[in-house]
Structure 1
Amino acid sequence: MVELFVSAFITFFVVIDPPGCAPIYASLTSAASAAQRRAMAIRAIVVSLAILLVFAMFGEKLLGALGISLDAFRVAGGIMLFLIALEMVFEKRQTRREDRAEKILETPEVEDVSVFPMALPMIAGPGSIATIMLLMARSNGFEETAVVLVAMTSVLLLTLVALLLAGPLMRILGAKIEAVITRLLGVLLAALATQFVVDGLKASFA
């Protein structure tokens, strides 16, 4: 169970990337008061948790209704996570997030950024949704399912802390240290994504 928790925690941490969300949130909420930033951070995490729980509980039924096998989803999800890992290693993911944040800032009528773009697509985006569905598909029994959900919730709580401490966190980490951490996590995610693809192909051709 400990190994499952560590594996799930690392996967969610890499995909959601709390340190990477912090500078984006700081830039999006620079004009907001401390109370407003706190409220939007909490709202973003609650919305993200709700979205991921829906896909955790009903994702498999949704795939069945669409005629998609779990093994096919494992392969597709693994490829998607691998592409995210490549973006992290070559520092393209953060650039894309920053471009999206700039577009939001250019729209003056947008004030509450908790749902868009923070909850969707930055926190509970395609990568996070694919991850929770893949991990839930690999879980056997109530205990393993609970471990995966606890790991996901733990990462979301860390993300909340990162959003609340976005300003000080960025000053402590600095751009260079954040870039190094992102690349290391990208390599880890690439390995985990490859394992998802291998598992899906093995089961498909067994």
Structure 2
Amino acid sequence: MLDYADYIKIFIGLLAIVNPFGAIPLFISITADQNEKQHKQTINLVAISVAIILLVTLFFGELLLRFFGITIDSFRVGGGILILLMAISMLHAKTSLLKQTNAEANESAQKESVAIVPLAIPLLAGPGAISAVILAANKSHAVSHYFTIAAGILLLSLIVWILLHLSPWISKRLGITGINVFTRIMGLILAAIAIEFIANGLKGIFPILA
């Protein structure tokens, strides 16, 4: 079991990676032709999907790494690089192509349901968030540790649900500039977290660096 400060750090890092604020402009664009009932259903499905994806990752992600013979230190370096690339995109106020390509964005406009793909995955619960959850889960093997992170994931999903419901109001009040400023701040935090992942992974792979 980690300290409360460590769990707060994990939660803030995950919030920065998921970045529901940054997803608001795309969410509004994709759901523009939906009526009120469809809009609410989409929001509910997005929040539930994000929770399920990250919870499954939390409890079974490490088993998947073992299946493929990947060490956690190697995954720390790889995941850290992935998150760093996302952070660099966020510092430029852009949606990372690691989350969604232009082809996926164009295809999503032709789908009846966009809640799971591309909104829940890969836009919100994408490779970066999945990597962060696996790395956080590996910090301890206590049952309470897993359930604390699970509670953080559920809280994160609730925040996603609330922000998507408030997306029209937020978009009007903050505008694209306000959302971009918030995205850049989250990107800076994310870059620091990514460097820490990479450094710890390299220390594990090359003990002489410790």
TM-score, length-scaled by structure 1: 0.91
Question: How far 1:5 moved relative to its partner?
Answer: 2.4
The residue number in structure 2 matching 1:104 is: 108
The residue number in structure 2 matching 1:92 is: 94
2:190 aligned with 1:189: yes
Question: How far 1:205 moved relative to its partner?
Answer: 2.0
Question: How far 1:104 moved relative to its partner?
Answer: 2.4
2:4 corresponds to which letter in structure 1? V
Give the alignment of 1:39-188 within 5 angstroms: 39-93=41-95, 99=102, 100-105=104-109, 107=110, 110-188=111-189
Larger mean CA deviation between 39-48 and 78-87 belongs to 39-48
More helix as a share of residues: 1
2:148 corresponds to which letter in structure 1? V
Whether contact under 8 Å (1:15, 1:127) holds in the other structure is yes
2:43 corresponds to which letter in structure 1? A
Give the alignment of 1:3-14 within 5 angstroms: 3-14=5-16
Larger mean CA deviation between 187-196 and 96-105 belongs to 96-105
1:75–1:168 CA distance, 2 compared to 1 (3 A)? same
Question: How far 1:98 moved relative to its partner?
Answer: 9.1
Deviation per residue, 1:98-156 (Å, 9 max, x gap): 94544422x2xx12111111111111111111111011111341222222222222122
Q: Aligned residue pairs: how many?
A: 203
1:187–1:20 CA distance, 2 compared to 1 (3 A)? same
2:10 corresponds to which letter in structure 1? A
Question: How far 1:97 moved relative to its partner?
Answer: 5.6
1:104 corresponds to which letter in structure 2? S
Which whole-Å CA distance do the structure 1 matches of 2:35 and 2:66 have between them?
46
Question: How far 1:32 moved relative to its partner?
Answer: 0.8
1:94–1:54 CA distance, 2 compared to 1 (3 A)? closer
Whether contact under 8 Å (1:8, 1:152) holds in the other structure is no
Indicate the RMSD between aligned Cα atoms, in angstroms.
1.8
1:71 corresponds to which letter in structure 2? D
Whether contact under 8 Å (2:89, 2:95) holds in the other structure is yes
TM-score, length-scaled by structure 2: 0.90
Whether contact under 8 Å (1:4, 1:147) holds in the other structure is no
Show structure 1 runs of 5+ residues with no match.
Answer: none
Whether contact under 8 Å (1:52, 1:124) holds in the other structure is yes
Question: How far 1:185 moved relative to its partner?
Answer: 1.1
The residue number in structure 2 matching 1:19 is: 21
Whether contact under 8 Å (1:24, 1:101) holds in the other structure is no
Question: How far 1:81 moved relative to its partner?
Answer: 0.4
